[in-house]
Structure 1
Amino acid sequence: MQPTALVARRAGLRRSVRLLSEFRFEQTDPARFYGALAEDTVAMVTDLWTGCTGGLVTGRTVVDVGGGPGYFASAFDTAGMRYVGVEPDPREMHAGPAGDADGGVFVRASGMALPFADGSVDICLSSNVAEHVPHPWLLGNEMLRVTRPGGLVVLSYTVWLGPFGGHEMGLTHYLGGARAAQMYTRKHGHRPKNDYGSSLFAVSAADGLQWAASTGALVAAFPRYHPRWAWWMTSVPRLREFLVSNLVLVLQP
């Protein structure tokens, strides 16, 4: 079985529209947004595990790097996986159900220095985090380090030049990240949560693919929110920077 065969089977236009429509609730109704994203993420990880290993995901340990307020915990627990959320920001960790989530363990730590032994987890996931750290491929290397041989690393991030690269700053990021942050501040009277240069960085699709290829562990790469018939965009330089939007890198140590 191809690693992405099951994911591709689910990647229809209806799913894409449904997920993208939830993004408008990210800050106004995070439980709704992250609930929908958690359900889809669990399905993606389950499908990738089956495609890459041929085995069942039940009972496997999942480390979620940048797990934030813990909205993913109950979804992974329901799917029969042991969830460990990693989050460096205590404010973010306590902004949701992390303290009261069903199942799961939560650790305060940086994704660029994971407090786990080499080869100690089955699955290491990072969902929309790499663009928020200054050294995204150090984070990627740490994810590979802690994942056991034959396990699974799933690193998904927002591509800077895509339409969602500016996050809440909207399309103004095409005018430059610093300028977009200044425009947002003038309009709203405060800095954006995803502030360019401190909590948001310009990460390209090309950089991610180059890093993943250099590890020798890359087994698949595809656009997370696109229907299957649009996955070809990932293989086209320059075009992918604007149209892929969110890139998923799948690796097996």
Structure 2
Amino acid sequence: MVAFTLSHKTATGHPHTHLDQQLHTVFPGFSWGNIRPGHSGGSAGRLQWTTVPDALPLTRAAATLTRSLALLRSYPDEQNNPERFYRSLAEDTAGMISRLCADTGTGPLAGKTILDVGGGPGYFRQAFAAYGAGYLAVEPDQREITAAGLPGAADVRATGQDLPFADATFDVSVSSNVVEHTDRPWQMLDEMLRVTRPGGLVVVSYTVWLGPFGGHETGLLPHYIGGDYARRRYQKINGHPPKNVFGHSLFAVSAARGIAEAKKRAAAGHRLVGLFPRYHPGWAWWVTAVPLLREFAVSNLVIVMAAHDR
């Protein structure tokens, strides 16, 4: 297996840039001058190629270039027309979960109970109902619950890190774009695995910090200079702070960290089903396997796991 070794010393003769600083955010000790071929192993200073499971044929086949372009075109609607944006995203997500269930032999969504951690204003409820699934949302932020004025936006007000449910309660647990908004995302993943029935799917997707959308509404480029800079720039231009404030409600999460956390839980007995870029066509899923490149190219990482028997 090929890997890349990162020295924990700064290379001389290469001045720090804003991008260097952002790479340090996700890879402490990063230095451009000390990337060299290495061997796979357990060193914390190494970036290793990652095997991307290939056993998701229906999910991959549905990940077309047409779909990717449609999702990309909808990005400005998140601020300008959130209802249209989130309804479209909800329909895409429910379809993806349905195909993942089919790919993994866990049966159709119809009749399954779905837990949505960070369900927000409730756009996903209707999308899952169209598949005949039962749906329950958890959301800690009252402002998010009432943002769209939808009835029954969230069934339970709670945090993902402390889900108020018994073990093995749900058939499928889902979290869409929540990881980057909490300072304890992997505790949330543990809780989702706990409340999911043995063999049931846990699907977590999140925005990768060094991808173009890592800064969320602050723009495609400013966050590469720094999260605080992006916040200040946004506030100066718009006269108010962004909804997602770096260090408070927006955090720098790397693709490498998500992959490592998924593998850690797989080593503990859960099954790692798949890792892929959420918005890419299927033929571009390979970017998830390539260290460093994935931080810039993946944009949004999907982690699919199956809960183990207790």
1:197-230 superposed Cα distances (whole Å, 9 cap, x missing partner) = 0110000000000000011121100000000111
Asked if residue 137 in structure 1 is aligned to residue 186 in structure 2, the reply is yes
Aligned residue for 1:7, secondary structure, equals helix
CA gap of 1:136–1:188, structure 2 versus 1, over 3 A, is same
Superposition map of 1:141-156 within 5 A: 141-156=190-205
Q: Secondary structure at the match of 1:222?
A: strand
**RMSD across aligned C-alpha pairs, in angstroms?**
1.2
Matched, 1:39 2:91: yes
**Structure 2 counterpart of 1:241:** 295
Given that residues 219 and 252 in structure 1 are in contact (C-alpha distance below 8 angstroms), is that contact kept between their aligned partners in structure 2?
A: yes
2:216 maps to what in 1? 167
Q: CA deviation at 1:99?
A: 2.0
**Structure 1 residue identity aligned to 2:204:** L
Q: Are the equivalent residues in 1 in contact too, given 2:106–2:200 (CA < 8 A)?
A: no
Gaps of 5+ in 1: none
Aligned positions of 1:31-110 closer than 5 A: 31-99=83-151, 106-110=155-159
Per-residue deviation, 1:183: 1.2
Question: How many pairs align?
Answer: 249
Shift of 1:53: 2.3
Q: Which residue of 1 aligns with 2:166?
A: 117
2: CA distance, partners of 1:248 / 1:32: 22
1:224 corresponds to which residue? 278
Task: Report if aligned partners of 1:38, 1:71 keep a CA contact under 8 Å in 2.
Answer: yes
**Contact 2:273/2:305 (CA < 8 Å) preserved in 1?**
yes
Structure 2: distance between partners of 1:135 and 1:26: 25
Calculate percent identity across the aligned residue pairs.
Answer: 55
**How far has the Cα of 1:100 moved from its partner?**
5.1
Deviations 1:130-168 (A, max 9, x none): 000011111111111111111000000000000000001
Q: Does the Cα contact within 8 Å between 1:53 and 1:150 map onto a contact in 2? A: no
Q: 1:100 to 1:55 in 2, by over 3 A?
A: closer
Matched, 1:4 2:56: yes
Specify the code of the residue in structure 2 equivalent to 1:229: W
Give the TM-score of the pair, scaled to structure 2.
0.78
What corresponds to 2:40 in structure 1? Answer: none
Partner of 2:176: 127
Which amino acid in 2 is paired with 1:176?
G
